Structure 1
Amino acid sequence: MKYIIAFCFGLAIILGFKMSKTGHDTFKPGAIWEDFDGNHINAHGGGFYYEDGTYFWYGEHKDQNSLAQVGVRVYSSKDLYNWSNEGVALSVSSNPDSEITTGSVIERPKVIFNKKTGKYVMWFHLELKGQGYAAARTGVATSDSPLGPFEYIKSFRPNANVWPKNIDDSEKVYNEEDKSLEWWTSEWKASLVDGLYVRRDFEKGQMSRDMTLYVDDDGTAYHIHSSEENQTLHISVLTDDYLDFTDTYVRVQEGGQNEAPAIFKSGDTYYMITSGLTGWSPNPARSFKSKSMLGPWEKLGNPAKGKGAELTFRSQSTFVLPVAGKDDAYIYMGDRWNPKNHIDGRYIWLPISMSNGKPEFQWHDEWDLSFFETASP
């Protein structure tokens, strides 16, 4: 009996150590964030989906570089602090002819649920193997479960042979002058705003890099992506099954150089947080608001406030998550990239406050969800 008691006591000590090592009840932005197995969470450029009391976190599985070696990983949580590794939601293919073969680039996966079809739909930014960032495509996959496995369907450049709703007829003609313009000249900038790259890419489809998804209250789904050589955002309406693009899209902040879009809605107003174009290096975030997803969008300035705000606390936006069960509770979710060792990228989650109709977030070394109960309105 004493051996049994000793064994049970030893097991309790081991289990207690395990729980103390991996159990979390606060957020610590920028720190190593371990899952229930004690491993740093590997889900970068993430997207989040909530269903029946469970959050699902989808993100890029990173190794030392940015090329896809595993695919999109998924984690689950009941409380947002503690996450279980649920495996690979979308796997890269061993077939060298596949568009999502090992060595391609799969970034910023986002998942939404289609009530009509009963399918979970994942969209992501895809670059084809060996082409750098020249392909600028968006890919789509589906699953019967939020945990996957997701089945890859296709990738493409969206809106081929379709003009944006907010472009003038005078801006639809691609001419010899367009082809000869030199980058960063005043002539190039003026032509860019007037639709230079929309005209250039009209037949083959518009570029789609950093992206996110948003499903509105009426079930309409939107695909928001950096286009036109990352110089202009496009917001596109998806089809009813969320598997393709309709002919409705608009240009947003023409020539504004926005990427890493994240969308949320507070009251009857839509808000968007983006970053500038500085590669893997951080920069000041931007924010915008609109009464319609299709705009017009009004500039609000940098939502980050306080010390470190000039570099968004060394992070880049990826998602804004509404906290389930709490009114007007939103979390800014960003990545702190490490281009020398991508797997070591950290997660910067900070609570958003609304101030005079503008979203704001400040640095916290440590915080928890009680912030939203004590924050001033």
Structure 2
Amino acid sequence: MKYDSFRPGKEWKDTNGKPIQAHGGSVIYIDGIFYWYGENKEKTKPDNDIWHWGVRCYSSVDLYNWKDEGIIIKPVTDDPESPLYPSKCMDRPHILYNKKTLKYVCWLKIMEKDGTQDMTVLTADHILGPYTMVKKGYRPYDMSSGDFDLAVDDQSGKAYYFFEKVHSELICAELDETYTGVGEIYSEHFKNGQPPYVREAPAYFERNGKKYLITSGTTGYHPNPSEAAMAEEWHGPWKVLGDPHRNDRSMTSFNSQISCIFKHPEKEDLYIAMADRWLPNLPETEGDGFYTGEAYRKVEQSFKEEFSGIADKKEKDEETDYGKDDTSIARYVWLPIRFEGDVPYIEWQNEWKI
């Protein structure tokens, strides 16, 4: 099948006819080719212990039709201690190109069995690899580091690392010259106290000299309301602009979680919000309450109680056991970002074209 439009939430197949597996990922544009990479969830089923099967990458010239370029960071199947072991919770690969070192630098979030989270860093000479691991178990500033995004200042070449200090706040850190570690300077933002209000899944972009972040709340794979914020400088202060998803009564960001904001290099003002629909069957399982927002309100309350110490251990385990979700069938919701002045907003479209 050849595509000539985006169809948010519908099954999206590669040029071989297989479902695309690039979750929690990003797009990078190199020499006229778009590369889309992300978590390969093809083997992740509710009845096994496989969280990921490496990082898979696709290439395209039109953003609609994607050729499978293979697994660029392979799972390590013979070493349970490796951060790339399939049962390790490896999430949200982000790749930068360093013009000084001529290296592609990939950061991965790894969630350990004890709940702590750290980073693995790899480098390569080409976007498609091979990648060499240069750091594992890396804890910037000795912080448990969760969902994140990486960005580069086009003028200075300095890179920045936005990450959730787990269940606490969002950190903006300056990277060192190699992009493989943090520098001395960082700042703290969005101190919302506890899930579900702590901001995670930061997605950064710039427009007209303004800096933007769109983040999600913290409710596991269950979607929640997004929040946009704007600043004049990398380290803020950040002004909260509210949920950019217009007319979303479900309070679920159109049943999705944004992983990346991609600026089309050949269009003057086209920003695409790339999001994962982790639970495509959610409207069926939650019924009418999904559409009214009642279902999300229950999830919000359960997380609020859980992280306030109200829920007992058994309830907590049941509420947060998202490893049982079938993310192998997760889909994608790509929508254009529009603007009223400096304020971004996203409207639902069943189908749209560049």
TM (normalized to structure 2)? Answer: 0.82
Stretches of structure 2 lacking an aligned partner (at least 5 in a row): 280-321
Q: Give % identity.
A: 36
Give, in whole Å, the separation in 1 of the partners of 2:249 and 2:335: 13
Aligned structure 1 segments of 4 or more residues deviating by more than 4 angstroms: none
Give the CA deviation at 1:70: 1.8
Give the CA deviation at 1:159: 3.5
**2:294 match:** none
Give, in whole Å, the separation in 1 of the partners of 2:81 and 2:246: 47
- Counterparts in 2 of 1:199-214, with a 5 A limit? 205-214=142-151
**2:304 match:** none
Q: Of 73, 88, 102, which residue of structure 2 is paired with 1:90?
A: 73
**1:333 match:** 274
Matched residue SS, 1:310: coil
1:33 correspondence with 2:17: no
Give, in whole Å, the separation in 1 of the partners of 2:211 and 2:239: 10
Q: Which amino acid aligns with 2:222?
A: S
Residues 86-109 of structure 1 deviation map (CA, whole Å, 9 limit, x = unaligned): 011111212233232231111000
Stretches of structure 1 lacking an aligned partner (at least 5 in a row): 1-20, 161-204, 370-377
**2:349 match:** 364
Give, in whole Å, the separation in 2 of the partners of 1:264 and 1:309: 26
**2:23 match:** 44
Q: Which amino acid aligns with 2:75?
A: V
**1:167 match:** none
Q: Of 156, 159, 184, which residue of structure 2 is paired with 1:221?
A: 159
**2:335 match:** 350
Give, in whole Å, the separation in 1 of the partners of 2:96 and 2:183: 17
Range with bigger deviation, 54-63 or 148-157: 148-157
Residues 320-353 of structure 1 deviation map (CA, whole Å, 9 limit, x = unaligned): 0001111121001111113631111010000001
Give, in whole Å, the separation in 2 of the partners of 1:149 and 1:53: 21
Contact 1:157-1:207 at 8 Å conserved across structures = no
Summarize the Cα distance change of 1:67–1:260 in structure 2 as closer, same or farther, 3 Å threshold.
Answer: farther
Summarize the Cα distance change of 1:311–1:99 in structure 2 as closer, same or farther, 3 Å threshold.
Answer: closer
- Counterparts in 2 of 1:150-229, with a 5 A limit? 150-160=131-141, 205-217=142-154, 218-227=156-165, 229=166
1:60 correspondence with 2:44: no
1:122 correspondence with 2:106: yes
Give the CA deviation at 1:58: 1.2
Q: CA RMSD in A?
A: 1.5
Residues 239-261 of structure 1 deviation map (CA, whole Å, 9 limit, x = unaligned): 11111110111111112510111
**2:306 match:** none
- Counterparts in 2 of 1:241-252, with a 5 A limit? 241-252=178-189
Contact 1:89-1:149 at 8 Å conserved across structures = yes
Contact 1:159-1:247 at 8 Å conserved across structures = no
Give the CA deviation at 1:150: 1.5
Contact 1:158-1:245 at 8 Å conserved across structures = no
Q: Of 54, 68, 71, which residue of structure 1 is paired with 2:54?
A: 71
Matched residue SS, 1:304: coil
Give, in whole Å, the separation in 1 of the partners of 2:122 and 2:116: 18
Q: Which amino acid aligns with 2:58?
A: Y
Q: Which amino acid aligns with 1:120?
A: Y
Contact 1:48-1:111 at 8 Å conserved across structures = no
Contact 1:68-1:92 at 8 Å conserved across structures = no
How many residues of Structure 1 are paired with residues of Structure 2 in the alignment? 300
Contact 1:48-1:321 at 8 Å conserved across structures = yes
**1:140 match:** 121
Give, in whole Å, the separation in 1 of the partners of 2:50 and 2:170: 24
Give the CA deviation at 1:308: 4.5
Give the CA deviation at 1:270: 0.3
1:317 correspondence with 2:317: no
TM (normalized to structure 1)? Answer: 0.77
Q: Which amino acid aligns with 2:40?
A: H
Residues 4-37 of structure 1 deviation map (CA, whole Å, 9 limit, x = unaligned): xxxxxxxxxxxxxxxxx2x111000000000000
Give, in whole Å, the separation in 2 of the partners of 1:309 and 1:288: 21
- Counterparts in 2 of 1:281-300, with a 5 A limit? 281-300=222-241
Contact 2:22-2:37 at 8 Å conserved across structures = yes
Give, in whole Å, the separation in 1 of the partners of 2:346 and 2:149: 20
Residues 345-366 of structure 1 deviation map (CA, whole Å, 9 limit, x = unaligned): 0100000011121111100000
